[in-house]
Structure 1
């Protein structure tokens, strides 16, 4: 498998560097977790309850809601040879769509989400309700609650762990950095520790991000590129996830696959993403700010439709080796569309689809960690599991706008 092989070569080339930094990150996670606890953030509550304290993307406690009977039913497969997947983040955008596709293919799925209020919880609950109608149960709890996560991993005969839960958003990290430490660092280490302690360790596939490429200027971005210059705290946590994963692979023989997502969009997407709130702004007449680089450069993104991302996620899951020393691998893959488009093009497409012109103003890009351009080289994913994006931007945006109008009860233009 050439894609996985290249990842292994890169890991060996930077072995000492990765181990030292990963251990440093792990100790930092433990230290900050202690600091958060001492500052008054409540610890995890018992089953079906939540202690008083800050909610949402803050590091407060989240309630535990777990129905063992529903969990067992959710884990049932469509027949022999199918997987049983523990999927974190099923209340989120990519997790929701992935859970639906896994079940459609006959796999069993048990979800986990804390339903924080980083963006409107009603949308997350709507996703949860659709999944439940399909027989996919989402447990409510915190990925950083180690005792609870260990309990859930014993609830079904799982074959894989798919970790898509995270505190998302580049700019929000400037406002609430500890939310990223809690979910993206402490939560990731907590999950790997729980997997490590299982009688049979499972292969783990987890979400990284194109943000790890940070200030890199060589395009398209390749998994073989060094990613030592993150431009945001969010990117730094995702880079840390990759290094922590490498250390767990090296020390314990755990099979770990990281997926660098490139600007995912589509129905039931995230309201904090530009395509989502640009649609709202065009419809209600709110001014749209289009960021521009210091030398007048247009911001570009490798917009990737959610169905293409889901195909890549499942492809990586299907090809993940078992967590057995000698067979386990450490892999990294880009999942993008390979055709970057300017934000101006995004807006023009939305205007055409909505049949309405937006109020636009070009402004300098703020210093919140965004980068000027992203562009994915997906050859490694293609070689490893046939990843090949199929959805162009206009087609994907039409599907999103159709959903948006229906979901929010907005008639055609």
Structure 2
């Protein structure tokens, strides 16, 4: 049986991806830096801090996975500004520790590294959708650390490690932290509806255009990328994108339209990023041509499920 080691399994994406991996018939070992408060019955749970090189070696020596999906990371851009050392230690040194452990213990394993569309940075100033050949010019510590980790993976690929690098664009859905824009909107609407917040939504830059994807579609792409382990020649880097530019204001308007509350909008300067770009959209021709992947979940459906989830979570807080 194919056995996947999933790092960052307790995170927003990891929880969704675990379900898809199990449905696809994979044996899964979930690696997390903290214990899962609600562990899944029959799922191997591994305590692993990827910043600990010896722990990475010991984990791979014990598990001997055939496949690895590396999600574990500091993934919040404002956090990367506040805690750059933590970001670099986790995202770069942690990835190097994992790569060295793969090289030593499971050199035949196939690894999917979840990088980020943020690595394109200043290239988004062109105002056009970017493909995998576009220059990577990161403008925040998170993006810089992800690009550095990509370079580490490329070096290990040259040494014989097998795998691919994925650059997902903005993915949203159930379980995402309210530190991220769509979840923040949904949470505030749920709080307003329950009377726990004044009928005013605090927002940052609403004019920026982003490439939004449902997290389930992104996880489906990761799953399909695992299938390249059986392919001899394939590209090393894949965008996971829709190719559609959506204004954040339109996302907010759609969420508000799904509420019966009368809501006004107020700019919160603290929510403005110092490195924000007006347009960040990707081309997905490569992954569509190689794997026939394309996003399937309509955005309004994603937003409806997100808002419904936050209503339940807010209600549970009472």
- The CA distance in 2 between the partners of 1:357 and 1:144, in whole Å, is 47
Aligned to 1:380: 286
| Residue 257 (structure 2) aligns with | 352
CA distance in 1, matches of 2:214, 2:106: 38
Superposition pairs of residues 14-413 of structure 1, within 5 angstroms: 82-115=1-34, 125=36, 129=38, 132-133=40-41, 135-198=42-105, 200-216=107-123, 217-218=125-126, 219-227=128-136, 229-250=137-158, 252-282=159-189, 283=192, 284-285=197-198, 286-291=200-205, 298-321=207-230, 327=232, 331-362=236-267, 366-409=272-315
Q: Which runs of 5+ in 2 are unaligned?
A: none
Q: TM-score, normalised by structure 1?
A: 0.70
Please report the TM-score for the alignment, with normalisation by the length of structure 2: 0.89
Query: How far off its partner does 1:155 sit?
Result: 2.4
Q: Please tell me whether the aligned partners of residues 260 and 335 of structure 1 are also in contact (alpha carbons under 8 angstroms).
A: yes
Distance, in Å, in 2 between the alignment partners of 1:330 and 1:395 is 32
* CA distance in 1: counterparts of 2:44 and 2:279, whole angstroms: 38
User: What is the CA–CA distance in structure 1 between the aligned matches of 2:102 and 2:234, rounded to whole Å?
Assistant: 16
User: Partners of 1:355 and 1:199 in 2: how far apart?
Assistant: 54
- The 1:108/1:381 distance shift into structure 2, 3 A limit, reads same
Q: CA deviation at 1:274?
A: 0.8
Cα drift, residue 154 of structure 1:
2.4
Name structure 1 gaps, 5 residues minimum.
1-81, 116-123, 293-297
Q: Aligned with 2:205: secondary structure?
A: strand
Report how far residue 184 of structure 1 moved: 0.2
CA contact (8 A) 1:290 1:360 kept: no
Distance 2:170 2:262 in 1: 24
Shift of 1:156: 2.9
In the alignment, what sits opposite 1:14?
A: none
Task: Identify if the C-alpha distance between structure 1 residues 200 and 290 changes in structure 2 by more than 3 Å, giving closer, same or farther.
Answer: closer
CA distance in 2, matches of 1:233, 1:351: 33
Question: CA RMSD of the aligned region, Å?
Answer: 2.2
Look up the SS of the partner of 2:152 in the other structure. helix
Distance of 1:333 and 1:356 partners within structure 2:
41
Larger Rg: 1
User: Secondary structure of 1:319's match?
Assistant: helix
Give the superposition deviation at 1:362: 4.4
Deviations 1:265-289, CA, capped at 9 Å, x for gaps:
1111122111111122232234422
Deviation at 1:384, TM superposition (A): 1.4
Q: Tell me: CA distance 1:328–1:163, structure 2 relative to 1, closer, same or farther (3 Å).
A: farther
Residues 268, 220 of structure 1: CA spacing in aligned structure 2 closer, same or farther, 3 A cutoff? Answer: same
**What is the deviation of 1:410?**
6.4
CA deviation vs aligned residue, 1:80-139 (integer Å, no higher than 9, x gap): xx4210110001011111111101111100011114xxxxxxxx94xx52x514x32332
Per-residue CA deviation, residues 307-358 of structure 1 (Å, 9 max, x unaligned), is 1001100000111358xxxx47661111122222111111111111222243
